[in-house]
């Protein structure tokens, strides 16, 4: 049995579908399954059972000993300010899963985040020791970094474990995420509704409008790497998961226009003042650690990923 938490959400539901495609159907899917807007994410999956998140937390052992755990369930809203919510869902929840895996000696992959890197003042290298000096910009990022630090200090640990620092993931099954959905998703919606796309203006003299950069990674690549961590015994620790390439928002928006066979029509609006001082102008995952662990597949280009997402998924949404 493989346990997947957060299974009604974006990445975890795509992972469960990928595991099904590999012939893995003995899955315990864990989440809050009460939201109707997430139902489509898991409706077609094959699994042993659905487990309510809070019931699972009370006694994980009641569901039987798994062979592997993917703990991807978390509160991921970077604008949420309720520290108690993060304490429960991102720290407490993760500690229960960690301790269960340590007691049962079950390998674990859990979701960390590139939000732990803050403004990138210490770079974007996935060295375990760096966790102690990172300065995340919001409660979400702090909760992820706090758990990373806690995990690294534990003497009792799963036989092998990986904390995955996801960069800017986009792709199908993010439709329920609202404002936390990817820029690809929002660009598609805005272009279809208005014929144009508004990007944040640069407020730095050294960076032109539209040239703010992120490491965008397609969810298909993400679930392939997660499966790699299950199939191969890699050294335990924190691992970045991006493409290793920073691309401008201009390129991303242009790719959406091209996928829709429309002329590029991009304009700019001021970055809101409440986030202007902490706005990230650049992120790029350093991927040497994953490559050294043996993952050698190429990552999907931004243009290819956006085209597939738009044509095979977004345009077919009802």
What pLDDT is stored for residue 68 in this prediction?
98
What pLDDT is stored for residue 87 in this prediction?
66
For the chain, which residues score pLDDT lower than 50? Answer: none
**What domains lie within the chain, and their CATH numbers?**
2-167+217-245+285-292 (3.40.50.720), 170-214+246-283+301-311 (3.90.25.10)
What pLDDT is stored for residue 318 in this prediction?
62
What pLDDT is stored for residue 140 in this prediction?
81
Q: How far is residue 211's CA from residue 157's CA, in Å, rounded to a whole number?
A: 42
What pLDDT is stored for residue 86 in this prediction?
60
What pLDDT is stored for residue 137 in this prediction?
79
What pLDDT is stored for residue 139 in this prediction?
82
Q: Which residues are catalytic?
A: 140, 177
**What are the DSSP calls for the chain, one per residue?**
-EEEETTTSHHHHHHHHHHHHTT---EEEEE-TT-GGGHHHHTT---SEEEEHHHHHH-GGGG---SEEEE------TT---HHHHIIIIIIHHHHHHHHHHHHT--EEEEEEGGGGTTSTT-S---GGGGGT---SSHHHHHHHHHHHHHHH-SS--SSEEEEEE-EEE-TT-GGGGGGS-HHHHHHHHHHHHS-EEEEPP-STTS-TT--EE-EEEHHHHHHHHHHHHHS-PPSEEEEES-S--EEHHHHHHHHHHHTT----EEEEPPPHHHHTT--SB-----HHHHHTT--PPPPPHHHHHHHHHHHTGGG--
């Amino acid at each position: 049995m493989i346990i997947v938490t957060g299974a009604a959400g974006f990445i975890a539901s795509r992972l469960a579908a990928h595991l099904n495609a590999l012939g893995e159907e003995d899955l315990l899917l864990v989440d809050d399954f009460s939201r109707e807007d997430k139902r489509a994410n898991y409706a077609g999956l094959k699994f042993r059972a659905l487990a309510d998140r809070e019931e699972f937390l009370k006694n994980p052992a009641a569901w039987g000993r798994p062979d592997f755990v993917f703990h991807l369930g978390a509160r991921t809203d970077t604008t949420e300010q309720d520290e108690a919510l993060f304490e429960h869902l991102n720290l407490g929840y993760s500690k229960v899963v960690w301790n269960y895996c340590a007691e049962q000696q079950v390998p674990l992959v859990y979701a960390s985040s590139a939000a732990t890197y803050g403004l990138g003042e210490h770079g974007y290298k996935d060295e375990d020791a760096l966790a102690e000096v990172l300065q995340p910009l919001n409660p979400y990022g702090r909760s992820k970094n706090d758990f990373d630090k806690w995990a690294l200090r534990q003497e009792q640990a799963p036989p092998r474990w990986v904390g995955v620092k996801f960069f800017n993931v986009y792709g199908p099954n993010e439709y329920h995420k609202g404002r936390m959905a990817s820029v690809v998703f929002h660009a598609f919606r805005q272009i279809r509704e208005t014929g144009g796309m508004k990007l944040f203006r640069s407020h730095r003299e050294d960076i032109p409008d539209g040239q703010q950069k992120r490491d965008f990674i397609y969810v298909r690549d993400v679930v392939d790497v997660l499966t790699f961590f299950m199939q191969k015994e890699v050294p335990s620790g924190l691992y970045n998961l991006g493409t290793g390439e920073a691309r401008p928002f201009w390129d991303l928006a242009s790719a959406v226009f091209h996928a829709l066979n429309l002329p590029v029509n991009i304009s700019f609006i001021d970055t809101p003042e409440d986030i202007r001082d902490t706005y990230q102008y650049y992120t790029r995952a350093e991927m040497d650690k994953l490559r050294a662990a043996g993952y050698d597949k190429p990552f999907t280009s931004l243009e290819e990923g956006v085209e597939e997402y738009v044509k095979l998924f977004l345009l077919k949404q009802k």
